[in-house]
Structure 1
Amino acid sequence: MKWTIAGPTMSCGHDDEHQTLPHPVTAKARNYRGGETPVHSHLRAQLIYAGSGVMRVETEAGSWVVPPVRGVWIPANTAHRVIMLGPVEMRTLYIRPDAAPDLPDSCCLLDVSPLLRALILALLDEPLAYERAGRGGQIAALALAELRFLRIPALHLPMPGEPRLHRLCEELVANPDSRETLETLAEQQATSSRTLARQFQRETGMSFRQWRQQARLVEALGHLANGVPVALVAEKLGYRSASAFTAMFRRTLGMEPRRYFSAETAATSAA
């Protein structure tokens, strides 16, 4: 199924040295005040990481909110776009596919270790066409090795491949405060709630309730990253109270919303 996110799909990197150098790993730094990239792809796999700020990375398969200390792994030739949720210092590793054949073959969120963050910054200090037998080559080799040990956290919003269900999910993402029930949605789809429930489980690996909660959580992270008060975030997402939203957030991510990004920032500063 063709990706339905609006905007032109373009292939980037055919004339970009970050993609065409023979080096197994290259690093790139770019700062944004906000905005988003068009839908595009790269010749190489990439790890997208924010030194500061928060991004949302979208592909046909799903959506990930990326705060500091986390990154998104994107295999080569995967169409994606990046939405900056405020100012972002983007740091990217481009990895030649044959240099990392055992790394994931699908997009996923990764916990970026303090060591890998330091290696990314160190590689950025080297010339783009670094000496492969010198310091740059050693840093790149260690970064590749560290990538293989990174933990994959669970915060991911999978998108179904079935066209009608995909459109339904896009509508729910666009309207996170929707109070539509599985029954009313099934009626709109001219199917039964049991059939729709089975489709959700088969296409996303989640129940409808789990998927909608995850969609709201992904949306919440973007608002919280920009300093929106918890009570207003809860209202935007259709929760009856800030305490109900906070309880859900704590169950899922292990801490209260007001502590989440301060904890991420403290971890980044310590690194």
Structure 2
Amino acid sequence: MKHSNEILVSDRPVVALHDEYPAGFMDPMHSHAHVQILYACAGIMAVRTAEASYVVPPQRALWLPAGMAHEVCCRSAVSLRTLYLRPDAVDDGRCRVFEVSALLRALILEMGTLGADYPTEGRAGHIVALLLDEIQRLPALLHELAMPADPRLLRVCSSLVDQPADPRDIDDWAVVAGMGRRTFTRAFKRETGLGFAMWRQQARLMEAMALLASRNSITQVAFEVGYDSPSSFSAMFRRTFGVSPSRYISGQ
């Protein structure tokens, strides 16, 4: 959101901003001079970069390195808390989704009360130091979907991200890409690191996370993302994320 490269004149290592966005709000491709952490207290965001697509439900946050071009779509009304981190204050790393612990959530909300020119010593300095330590401690989660650079394959992947229940098989998608089946499968694996079937399964499960976080029923979600039955969807969801869809819903 807020395009704050020039707005942020503070020399503090971390600055927090907050805003509210309606469902359907789209922020087109842009970048920031700062490292950005996108965290929504409520609502679901879909974020795309040139290399990957992410779903960021509540209690998750996305780390975006400085200079990383990205677009953001609010899948529902979003109450956003954004942290901007000076690149020299952190290990920039790569894009990653991570779980927001109860401690980190409290620190993010408290950062929002400090303003951009908080004192670097005393209580405020301790809050910032603890926040940075907590962020670095939290492991990345499987919320990333690699996107190919080849425009022919990108056309296929973008279509499946938008319509994960599309039933066309690999031969149909090879035609869409203008490739033979063998060329398509080899190029797809080389560009995304996954076979086509595995990539599509991951795309469906990521969409399912967003739908479940919006309190859609498990049966409805299963059919909306292309599964033949709620039981097969639940089994794959548990195998991938380590919890059942019902546990995931209750955790949100």
Q: Of residues 211, 216, 231 in structure 1, which corresponds to 2:204?
A: 216
Find the aligned partners of 1:147 and 1:220 in 2 and give their Cα distance: 26
CA shift for structure 1 position 164:
0.9
In structure 2, what residue type is equivalent to 1:81? E
Contact 1:36 1:81 in 2 (8 A): no
Contact 1:13 1:20 in 2 (8 A): no
User: What residue in structure 2 maps to residue 24 of structure 1?
Assistant: 13
User: What residue in structure 1 maps to residue 22 of structure 2?
Assistant: 33
Find the aligned partners of 1:81 and 1:130 in 2 and give their Cα distance: 30
Find the aligned partners of 2:243 and 2:142 in 1 and give their Cα distance: 15
CA shift for structure 1 position 247:
1.6
Q: Which runs of 5+ in 1 are unaligned?
A: 1-9, 266-271
Find the aligned partners of 1:77 and 1:190 in 2 and give their Cα distance: 33
User: What residue in structure 2 maps to residue 129 of structure 1?
Assistant: 117
User: What residue in structure 1 maps to residue 47 of structure 2?
Assistant: 57
Find the aligned partners of 2:211 and 2:171 in 1 and give their Cα distance: 29
1:12 counterpart = 2:3:
yes
User: What residue in structure 1 maps to residue 153 of structure 2?
Assistant: 165
User: What residue in structure 2 maps to residue 98 of structure 1?
Assistant: 88
TM-score normalized by the length of structure 2 = 0.91
Deviations 1:151-198 (A, max 9, x none): 001221111111111111111222211122222322443433222222
SS of the residue aligned with 1:138?
helix
SS of the residue aligned with 2:216?
coil
1:262 counterpart = 2:246:
no
In structure 1, what residue type is equivalent to 2:192? T
Contact 1:23 1:132 in 2 (8 A): yes
Find the aligned partners of 1:23 and 1:34 in 2 and give their Cα distance: 32
1:144-183 aligned at under 5 Å gives the runs 144-183=132-171
User: What residue in structure 1 maps to residue 173 of structure 2?
Assistant: 185
Question: How many residues of Structure 1 are paired with residues of Structure 2 in the alignment?
Answer: 251
1:43 counterpart = 2:20:
no
Contact 1:59 1:79 in 2 (8 A): yes
Deviations 1:191-210 (A, max 9, x none): 33222222122111111111
User: What residue in structure 2 maps to residue 231 of structure 1?
Assistant: 219
Find the aligned partners of 1:96 and 1:190 in 2 and give their Cα distance: 44
Pairwise CA RMSD of aligned residues?
Answer: 1.9
TM-score normalized by the length of structure 1 = 0.85
SS of the residue aligned with 1:20?
coil
Find the aligned partners of 2:2 and 2:113 in 1 and give their Cα distance: 27
Runs of 4+ in 1 over 3 A off after TM superposition: 187-190
Find the aligned partners of 2:59 and 2:99 in 1 and give their Cα distance: 6
Q: Which runs of 5+ in 2 are unaligned?
A: none
1:250 counterpart = 2:241:
no
CA shift for structure 1 position 73:
0.4
Find the aligned partners of 2:25 and 2:9 in 1 and give their Cα distance: 24
